[in-house]
Structure 1
Amino acid sequence: MKIGTTHLFVPGPTTVPEVVRRAMNIPMEDHRAPDLPDLVLDLLADLRRVFRLREGRVLLYPGSGTGAWEAAITNCLDRGDRVLMARHGHFSHLWVEMARRLGLDVVCHDVAWGEGVPVETFEQALRADPSIKAVFVTHNETATGVTSDVRAVRRAMDAAGSDALLCVDGVSSIGSLDFRQDDWGVDVAVAGSQKGFMLPAGLAMLGVSEKALAAAERTTTERSYFAFREMIAANEVGYFPYTPPMPLLHGLRASLDRLFEEGMDDVVARHHRLGEGVRQGVKAWGLELCATSPRWYSDTVTAVRLPGGVDGALVCKIAYHRYRTSFGGGLGQVAGKVFRIGHLGDVNEVSCLGALAAAEMALLDAGVPVEAGSGVAAAQAYYRQALLAEEEAAGSGPWASAGSRTRLAAVR
């Protein structure tokens, strides 16, 4: 019997903080109770703060991020509508497949896995075809550790004179990476509870602009469970049109409180710092990332390419069975070629150092000639310098008192 925690470093589901777990430990309650709106209306208002959505609505469905995708498509588009998409990883591939199954006419651009959404290609396609009704963007492709520039896509749409809806998969970005739905002109954004929101899977989240809400009133695609109209009518008075997952709603309350206590800008900064430290560790191993350029680097997941002859699935199995640590395996085109380190949600510098230490041992056991301790040491050096610099700039931390500069210099 092995004692101690089994460590979770996949890019979702993520670790559920103890305060969130306790908030979900409730007796069953009446989902039609007269005081339920006290919980629900505040949740919906605070989710808007996370999505950075001033206009429009946030909708919650029992389901996963995939359910949110289907809700977005079936409400905002009609069968036969032309949509523009890029396929550059496993999850963008799945979104293309769903769009086709639901009857959309998909204009799909295949991109090398390791790159992101081709903004210039999208602009050209929109100029050539004004009939395109929606542009779909996978903000953070967890299969490859790639983040695309949503803001640049909106600029390209505007430059092309396109009136299409901008629909964004933010499942592994919203609540962790910088995301500003109104400022970036996003019409529909989808997320799930099991990643940056630090909850179990089971809540599908959508941020929907006024433009997308108006489109939903015009479309005729069949929908029932995911219909916006029924959900909005019930939400207006603080309820849901069917039984909601009450423990998850209480957990979401605790999760949002935790995010706001840290501050959303600080949440974004923390994830960048953690991601960069992991990347420094991978560099010290002498290995390459799946993301082909710094412009694509994700701050929530790092996909590490392995030398030829080394199976990424074996690295993950060794880490899980021998060192009780879960990493993500390669998916689709990169199956067996990469393993993935998730660093989002309830994680900090020491968490990521533990992930790197476990990865080093698993890599060595799988026959990858990394130097034991090299990745951990590189990340340690980066985290120490980054945290000290942040504290000094803010005048906070143990260096805030008189003589701080002298002591800071000594530590450095």
Structure 2
Amino acid sequence: MSSQNPVFIPGPTNIPEVLRRACDIPTMDHRSAAFPPLFERAKSGVKRVLKMDEGEVILFPASGTGGWEAAVTNTLSPGDKVLAARHGMFSMKWIDLCQRHRLDVEIVTCPWGEGAPVERFAEILAADTAHEIKAVLVTHNETATGVVSDVAGVRRALDAAQHPALLMVDGVSSIGSMDFRMTEWGVDLAVAGSQKGFMLPVGLAIVGVSPKALAAMEGATLSRCFFDFRDMLKLGTPYTPAVGLLNGLGAACDMLLEEGLDNVFARHHRIAEGVRKAVVGWGLRPCAVAPALYSNSVTAIVLPEGIDGNALCRHAADAYGVAFGAGLGEVAGKVFRIGHLGMLTDVLALSGIAAAEMAMADMGVPVTLGSGVAAAQAHYRATKTDPVRAAA
């Protein structure tokens, strides 16, 4: 596959050249006086991106899944009950992680294409008068289906029930691309990764930890070693840090904040809307069952019966040197995914839409070449001078 073509997977994302250079630094002694300013720049930048007024940011050399494990093991004990919905591959993986750690997971099963069931969560939390549920897990952006969930709604459900459970949020494919308000939404643990909205190579698990979660850490008895918050808070970097990535993270936060977070989110919405206009132009539909659930970082597109989405992705890679996201789990073979997050512009999005059209036509999908491109072009032309208006 040609490295000159952008990728259209929902992460790892395309890396801006300035961030590639920021990661490419000479070896540094991370015990020297030169390291703390670099480290603090990254952490303070993440706090601002998370819209986090208090608490701690902890950065592990790991992926987002490591962040999940850190969030769970540092705040819970064996046998603790947690509430979670299963509505996509990544919500399912988080449930599996909890079960492997001997937690009692109350699972609400939803169709793939729907978000976290806020009303059902509210009923369960209101009925839990003994407060047996210690944590509620929400996948903010379900990457497998292109569905965003209402984190603020889950917080309202917790507050209405006067329930003390921790609110843990997987923001791996949303943070840095879509609006996230850690303090306002009362999120106790927010998990992100370097390779998506922060536009860096994979390698950093980013965890925002509220004061309430820090207090829960003191009584938690699940085993942890590498992912122990206490060591990280005491020593900063108890083992060798990913110095280049940390320098890149500081630069990435500066880039996002310089653009302005509202502008970043509006840009993602505008580009995502162009992709969704293209989907309608093709006569297809997103996997997300309602517009309110549409993700601004990835769109999963349902293909006609008999068309294998994973085969389509392989063909796009072989014939045109472009990467789209294959279907996962229950939607494997039924959808393909176009990632539209991070370093992306109208022009780059249009190239992905055009390549998807060609690949679908080759595979026998009844699309008219140019139909999706024209629909996206019309949207981008109409919204190019006022991206904030486009997000309204």
Q: TM-score range by the shorter chain?
A: over 0.9
Give the aligned residue type for 1:77: L
2:265 corresponds in structure 1 to 268
Paired residues of 1:75 and 1:227 also in contact (CA < 8 A): yes
Inter-partner Cα distance in structure 1 for 2:2 and 2:290: 40
2:62 corresponds in structure 1 to 63
Give the aligned residue type for 2:185: W
| Residue 390 (structure 1) shift | 4.5
Query: What SS does the aligned partner of 1:355 have?
Result: helix
Q: Greater CA deviation, 42-51 or 164-173?
A: 42-51
Paired residues of 2:13 and 2:200 also in contact (CA < 8 A): yes
2:194 corresponds in structure 1 to 193
Alignment of 1:11-410 (within 5 A): 11-129=10-128, 130-235=131-236, 240-390=237-387
| Residue 151 (structure 1) shift | 0.3
1:396 corresponds in structure 2 to none
Query: What SS does the aligned partner of 1:359 have?
Result: helix
Give the aligned residue type for 1:94: K
Query: What SS does the aligned partner of 1:207 have?
Result: strand
Paired residues of 2:270 and 2:387 also in contact (CA < 8 A): no
Q: 1:4 to 1:46 in 2, by over 3 A?
A: closer
Q: 1:272 to 1:30 in 2, by over 3 A?
A: same
Q: 1:150 to 1:176 in 2, by over 3 A?
A: same
Give the aligned residue type for 2:343: D
Inter-partner Cα distance in structure 2 for 1:392 and 1:175: 20
Inter-partner Cα distance in structure 2 for 1:301 and 1:126: 31
Inter-partner Cα distance in structure 2 for 1:191 and 1:128: 31
| Residue 313 (structure 1) shift | 1.0
| Residue 149 (structure 1) shift | 0.5
Measured against aligned partners, the alpha-carbon deviations of 1:105-135 in whole angstroms (never above 9, x if no partner) come to 0000010000000000001111122311110
Give the aligned residue type for 1:262: E
Give the aligned residue type for 1:84: L
Paired residues of 1:7 and 1:324 also in contact (CA < 8 A): no
Inter-partner Cα distance in structure 1 for 2:114 and 2:66: 26
| Residue 348 (structure 1) shift | 1.1
| Residue 391 (structure 1) shift | 8.7
Inter-partner Cα distance in structure 2 for 1:4 and 1:44: 31
Paired residues of 2:263 and 2:388 also in contact (CA < 8 A): no
Inter-partner Cα distance in structure 1 for 2:123 and 2:332: 32
Inter-partner Cα distance in structure 2 for 1:51 and 1:186: 10
Inter-partner Cα distance in structure 2 for 1:13 and 1:75: 27
Inter-partner Cα distance in structure 2 for 1:189 and 1:83: 16
Q: Greater CA deviation, 134-143 or 224-233?
A: 224-233
Inter-partner Cα distance in structure 1 for 2:80 and 2:204: 28
Inter-partner Cα distance in structure 1 for 2:298 and 2:388: 25
Regions of 4+ moved over 4 Å: 389-393
Measured against aligned partners, the alpha-carbon deviations of 1:378-410 in whole angstroms (never above 9, x if no partner) come to 0010011112344999xxxxxxxxxxxxxxxxx
Inter-partner Cα distance in structure 1 for 2:389 and 2:203: 41
Q: 1:346 to 1:389 in 2, by over 3 A?
A: closer
Gaps of 5+ in 1: 394-412
1:408 corresponds in structure 2 to none
Inter-partner Cα distance in structure 2 for 1:121 and 1:392: 34
Query: What SS does the aligned partner of 1:9 have?
Result: coil
Inter-partner Cα distance in structure 1 for 2:217 and 2:2: 52
Q: Which has the larger radius of gyration?
A: 1
Inter-partner Cα distance in structure 2 for 1:4 and 1:212: 42
Inter-partner Cα distance in structure 1 for 2:389 and 2:303: 38
Inter-partner Cα distance in structure 1 for 2:309 and 2:154: 33
Paired residues of 2:45 and 2:254 also in contact (CA < 8 A): no
Inter-partner Cα distance in structure 2 for 1:268 and 1:370: 30
Measured against aligned partners, the alpha-carbon deviations of 1:185-214 in whole angstroms (never above 9, x if no partner) come to 000000000000001110000000000000
| Residue 164 (structure 1) shift | 0.4
Query: What SS does the aligned partner of 2:137 have?
Result: strand
Query: What SS does the aligned partner of 1:229 have?
Result: helix
For these two proteins, the number of residue pairs brought into alignment is 388
Give the aligned residue type for 2:211: E
Gaps of 5+ in 2: none
Inter-partner Cα distance in structure 1 for 2:25 and 2:125: 50
Give the aligned residue type for 1:207: G
Inter-partner Cα distance in structure 1 for 2:318 and 2:254: 35
Q: 1:391 to 1:270 in 2, by over 3 A?
A: closer
Normalising by structure 1, we get a TM-score of 0.92
1:405 corresponds in structure 2 to none
Query: What SS does the aligned partner of 1:167 have?
Result: strand
Q: Greater CA deviation, 38-47 or 185-194?
A: 38-47
Give the aligned residue type for 1:310: I
Paired residues of 2:171 and 2:192 also in contact (CA < 8 A): yes
Paired residues of 1:68 and 1:205 also in contact (CA < 8 A): yes
Inter-partner Cα distance in structure 2 for 1:280 and 1:93: 30
Measured against aligned partners, the alpha-carbon deviations of 1:135-191 in whole angstroms (never above 9, x if no partner) come to 000000000000000000100111112110000000000011000000000000000
